[in-house]
C-alpha cells in the first residue's frame, strides 16, 4: 500500500510541472491577447477622435471659404474679413497638425498591435501540437 501511495505521489509530482507550465502558457497567451485588445481599443478611440477633428476642420475650412468668397464694398468690411481670417487660419492649421499627430499615433499603435500579434503567432508556433488544438 505504501508503494502505491508513493507511486501516486511521484506521478503527481511529475505532472505538477506540466500543470504549472500549462498555466504559465495560458497566462502568457492571455497577456498577449489583452495587449492586442488594448491596442485595438486605443486605435478605435483615436480613429473616432480623428474623425471628429476632421469634421470640425471641414467646418472651419468651409467658413474660411465663405469669408474669402464674399465681395465687400468698403474697406471696413474688407478689414473685418482679414481679421476673421486672421483668427480662423491658425485654427485650421492647428487642426491639420493635430490630425497628422493623431494619424502618427494610430500608425504607431497599429505597429505595436501587429508586433504583439506576431509574437503571439510565433509563440504559438513553439507550442506542442496538443496545446494549440
Instruction: Tell me the C-alpha distance between 120 and 35, whole Å.
Output: 10
pLDDT band at 123 (very low <50, low <70, confident <90, very high): confident
Summarize pLDDT for 28-69 with one digit per residue, the tens: 788 888 999 999 999 999 999 999 999 999 999 999 999 998
Instruction: Tell me the C-alpha distance between 129 and 124, whole Å.
Output: 9
User: So what's the pLDDT on residue 44?
Assistant: 96
Parse the chain into domains and list their residue ranges. Answer: 2-132
pLDDT band at 24 (very low <50, low <70, confident <90, very high): low
Furthest C-alpha separation in the chain: 111
Summarize pLDDT for 61-99 with one digit per residue, the tens: 999 999 998 888 899 999 999 999 999 999 999 999 999
Instruction: Tell me the C-alpha distance between 27 and 42, whole Å.
Output: 22
Amino acid at each position: 500500500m505504501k508503494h502505491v501511495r508513493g507511486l501516486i505521489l511521484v506521478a503527481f509530482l511529475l505532472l505538477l510541472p506540466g500543470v504549472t507550465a500549462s498555466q504559465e502558457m495560458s497566462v502568457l497567451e492571455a497577456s498577449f491577447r489583452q495587449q492586442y485588445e488594448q491596442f485595438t481599443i486605443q486605435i478605435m478611440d483615436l480613429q473616432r477622435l480623428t474623425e471628429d477633428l476632421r469634421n470640425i476642420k471641414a467646418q472651419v475650412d468651409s467658413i474660411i471659404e465663405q469669408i474669402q468668397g464674399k465681395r465687400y464694398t468698403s474697406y471696413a468690411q474688407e478689414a473685418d474679413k482679414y481679421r476673421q481670417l486672421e483668427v480662423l487660419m491658425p485654427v485650421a492649421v492647428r487642426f491639420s497638425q493635430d490630425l497628422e499627430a493623431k494619424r502618427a499615433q494610430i500608425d504607431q499603435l497599429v505597429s505595436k498591435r501587429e508586433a504583439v500579434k506576431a509574437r503571439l503567432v510565433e509563440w504559438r508556433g513553439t507550442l506542442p501540437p496538443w496545446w494549440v488544438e
